[in-house]
Structure 1
Amino acid sequence: MQINKKMSEKTNIRIGVSIGDLNGVGLEVVMKTFADERMLDFCTPVLFASNKVIAFGKKQFGIDFTYNGIVHLNSIIDHKINVMNIWRELPPIQLGVPTPESGQCALDSLSAAVAALKEGVVDVLVTAPINKKNIQSESFHFPGHTDYLAQELEGDSLMFMVSDELRVGLLTDHLPLKDVVKNLSQELVEKKIRLMEASLRMDFGVIRPKIAVLGINPHCGDQGVIGNEEEKIIHPVVQKLYKEGILVFGTYSADSFFVSDYKHFDAVIAPYHDQGLIPFKMMSFGKGVNFTAGLSKIRTSPDHGTAYAIADRGIADESSFRQAVYTAIDIFRRRNENEELIANALDVNSLDKGFLSKEKGD
C-alpha cells in the first residue's frame, strides 16, 4: 500500500489574505504579521492587494517587507510572501477615513481571495477588517463576512469567537436588537448547537464537548414572568439534543455566567451579538479570533475592526491577526488529521472484510 505525505504534516500551508479596508489598520497588521520571517517557516502567505499598496505600507509604517509580486496564482512561491496584484494603479488611500473606494477595494480583495480558496489555490482564508457600510454593493449585501462566506461556500455557518480562555458562538450575529427575538426559532437553535458541537470535535479536538446555552431574557425569563422564549424556543431543543447524547446544558443567566461558570464548559452559545462578545472581548481582546465554523473551508479574522482612529499612527497591534493565522493553520491540520484517521479506519475495515471473505472461501 502506497503511503502519501500526510496533509496534516504539510509545512507550506497557503494562507489567502484579503486586505480589508485600505483606510483602516488591515494593511498595517497584515504587513507587521508577515514581516516576521519566522512565519514563513510554516506557511505561505498570499496577499490579495498590489505591489503599489505594499510599497505604500512600507513607506507609511516603516516596515521591512520582502515579497514576491505576482499577476498569476500559478506563480506563487512557497515559503515566501506573495502579493497577488489585483489593481494596476495605487487605489486612493486616506487612512482613517471610510470612502466608497476603500469599500470597493475591500470587496475586490475579498472576492479574489475567496475565489482562490474555492479553487484550492490557497488552503485557508484570513480576512482583515472591513467596513460593513462602505463595502455594500450589488454583489455584497450582507451584514459581514460570515453571511457572505456562507453564500459563497454554500453552507450553514456559525460565528464562533475563540481564544485560550473562552469560546463563544452566536445564535444571531449582526442583527438589530429589536429583530433578535423574531429571528429565533427551534430550528435555528438546533442548527447552531449542532454546528458548534461538530466544530468543537472536528476543528478543536474536543472529544465530548460540553456546551452551555445562555438565556435571552433577564434571569432566563424568571419562569415566564419577564419573557418565555427560553421555555418555548430554547429548552425543548436543549432537552432533545441532550437525549441524543450531545452534552448541551441551559439556559443560564448571562448576567452572572461569565463570573466563573463558563470555566466548566468547552463553549458557550449566546442568543445575540453583544451578549456574547462583551465578555469575550473583556477576557480575550487582542488574543481572540473570529472563526466561521460550519463551512467546508476555513476562514478566520482578528477580533477587532478597522480602527480608523489609529490607522495613520503606525501603532496598531498585530497580535490578534497573527493569532488568526495560527488558528487557521491549527484547524486546517486538525481537519486533515481527522480525515486521515477516517480514511485509515476505512482501509482497515476493507482489509478485514477481504480477509474474512477469503477465510469463508477457504
Structure 2
Amino acid sequence: MKPAAITMGCPVGIGPEIILRFFDSLSEAEVPSAPVVLGDLGVLTRAAALLGSRNQPVAWNAGEDVTPDTVPVLELSQLDADKLSWGQPTKESATAMAEYIRRAAAGALAGDFSAVITCPISKKALNEAGIWHPGHTEMLATLTGASRYRMMLAGTRLRVVLVTIHEPLAEVSQRLTAENILGCIRMTADALRRDFAVEKPRIAVAGFNPHSGEQGMFGREEIEIIEPAVRRYEGEAEVSGPWPPDTVFYKAANGAFDAVVCMYHDQGLIPFKLLHFQDGVNVTLGLPIVRTSVDHGTAYDIAGKGCADAASLRAAWQMAMDIARNRAR
C-alpha cells in the first residue's frame, strides 16, 4: 500500500510531540510501513530536541522510502519555531494547520496516501484565522465532497457513532429525524462490515431521554422518531432499540453489541472516553478516503513539557491500516 499520511495538527499543541514519540515506538518490522508526516520540519526538529528522540525529522518527497531512525516530513510550512510559544497559536500556525489537512485530503483522493491520520487541531484558532469549520470532521467532509458523514469513536471494548455531532445540546431534539437516524444506522452497519470485517453487526440504538422516555412520560422522541427509524431498517445487521442510555453502554462494553448509535455528542463520548481515554480512535464514516484521528485535543496545558502520550496516535495508525487493508480486499 501507499504510505499513510499523518497531519501534524496544531504546531504549538502536543501533535509534534506525540508524532516523535510514535516514531520512537515503531519496531524494526514496522518501519517499512511507517507513515509520512505532513507538517513543518523546523517545528518537528524542535520537538525531537525536546524529547531527545532517537528519530530525526528529515525532508521527504513522494515516492521515497522511509528509512530507519528518521521521521519523513512532507514540508508544507516553514514557521519560525523559535518564535512559536507552546500552547499559544497564531494566525500563521493556524493557517499552516489547515494546509496540512488540505494536502492530506487531496493526496488521499489522488491515491498518494492509503489513509489520513490527523493530530489534534484548535477549532478556535482555525476560526480566528478565517477558516470556518466546526471541526476536523466537517472540514474533511467538505474537502472530499462527502455530503453524508458520521463520527465513530472506536476502541477495543466500545464503538459509538453519533447522529448529531457538534450541535448545541438545546438544539439536538430539533435536529433528530427518523431519516437522519436511519441513515446513521445504515452507515454504521456498512462501516462495520466493510471497514471492521464484522460479518453480521449487532447495533444498539440509544434513546434520547432518561429511561428512553419511560413510554412517553419523560419525552416522546423515542416513540415518534427513534423507534420508527429502528423499525424501518432493512439490512444484514441486527438493529435494536431505543435502549435506555444509562444501560446500553454497559451492555456494549461487555460484548452485547458491536456499536451503539448515539443521539448526541456527549451521550456517546462520555462513556467512550471513560473506557478509552488513552487509546480511543476517531473514525470518520462516509468519506471516500480512510480517515482516523487521535481522540484527544491539543492539550495546550502540557504542550512543550515532554509528557504527552502517543497511545491514541499509535492506535489511530493501526486502525487506519486495518481499515485500508479491509477495503482493499
Give the TM-score normalised by the residue count of structure 2.
0.92
Aligned to 1:3: none
Aligned to 1:231: 223
Aligned to 2:149: 157
Q: Which residue among 309, 313, 316 is the counterpart of 1:321?
A: 313
Question: After superposition, what is the alpha-carbon deviation per residue over 1:212-263, rounded to whole angstroms, capped at 9, x for unaligned?
Answer: 000111111111122111111111110111x555411000111222333553
Q: Which residue among 280, 289, 293 is the counterpart of 1:297?
A: 289
Asked whether the 8 Å contact 1:49–1:85 carries over to 2, the reply is yes
Question: After superposition, what is the alpha-carbon deviation per residue over 1:183-234, rounded to whole angstroms, capped at 9, x for unaligned?
Answer: 1111111111110000000000111101000011111111112211111111
CA distance in 2, matches of 1:79, 1:120: 22
Counterparts of 1:38-57 in structure 2, within 5 Å, are 38=27, 40-57=30-47
Asked whether the 8 Å contact 2:45–2:57 carries over to 1, the reply is no
Aligned to 2:189: 197
Change (3 A) 1:153 1:137: farther
Asked whether the 8 Å contact 1:76–1:82 carries over to 2, the reply is no
Counterparts of 1:53-132 in structure 2, within 5 Å, are 53-70=43-60, 73-78=61-66, 81-91=71-81, 92-132=83-123
Counterparts of 1:182-331 in structure 2, within 5 Å, are 182-241=174-233, 243-260=234-251, 262=253, 263-331=255-323
Question: How many pairs does the alignment contain?
Answer: 323
Question: After superposition, what is the alpha-carbon deviation per residue over 1:18-49, rounded to whole angstroms, capped at 9, x for unaligned?
Answer: 11111111110011101234274352322112
Aligned to 1:360: none
1:84 alignment partner, SS class: strand
Moved more, 266-275 or 151-160: 151-160
For 1:143, the aligned partner's letter is P
Asked whether the 8 Å contact 1:224–1:231 carries over to 2, the reply is yes
2:11 alignment partner, SS class: coil
Give the TM-score normalised by the residue count of structure 1.
0.84
Matched, 1:33 2:22: yes
Asked whether the 8 Å contact 1:43–1:79 carries over to 2, the reply is no
How far the C-alpha of 1:138 sits from its partner, in A, is 7.9
For 1:136, the aligned partner's letter is N
Q: Which residue among 119, 127, 150 is the counterpart of 1:136?
A: 127
Asked whether the 8 Å contact 1:28–1:57 carries over to 2, the reply is yes
For 1:63, the aligned partner's letter is S
Structure 2 unmatched runs, 5+: none
Asked whether the 8 Å contact 2:8–2:15 carries over to 1, the reply is yes
Aligned to 1:342: none
Counterparts of 1:17-32 in structure 2, within 5 Å, are 17-32=6-21
Structure 1 unmatched runs, 5+: 1-9, 338-362
Asked whether the 8 Å contact 1:140–1:148 carries over to 2, the reply is no
Question: After superposition, what is the alpha-carbon deviation per residue over 1:246-294, rounded to whole angstroms, capped at 9, x for unaligned?
Answer: 4110001112223335531111011001110010011111111001112
Change (3 A) 1:279 1:199: same
Change (3 A) 1:42 1:232: farther
Instruction: Give the number of the structure whose alpha-carbon radius of gyration is greater.
Output: 1
Change (3 A) 1:56 1:245: closer
Percent identity reads 35
CA distance in 1, matches of 2:129, 2:310: 32
Asked whether the 8 Å contact 1:132–1:144 carries over to 2, the reply is yes
Moved more, 275-284 or 257-266: 257-266
CA distance in 2, matches of 1:24, 1:204: 31
Change (3 A) 1:88 1:245: closer
Report the aligned-residue RMSD.
1.9
Asked whether the 8 Å contact 1:238–1:250 carries over to 2, the reply is yes
1:224 alignment partner, SS class: coil
Asked whether the 8 Å contact 2:204–2:242 carries over to 1, the reply is yes
Asked whether the 8 Å contact 1:16–1:48 carries over to 2, the reply is yes
CA distance in 2, matches of 1:230, 1:200: 24
Asked whether the 8 Å contact 2:252–2:260 carries over to 1, the reply is no
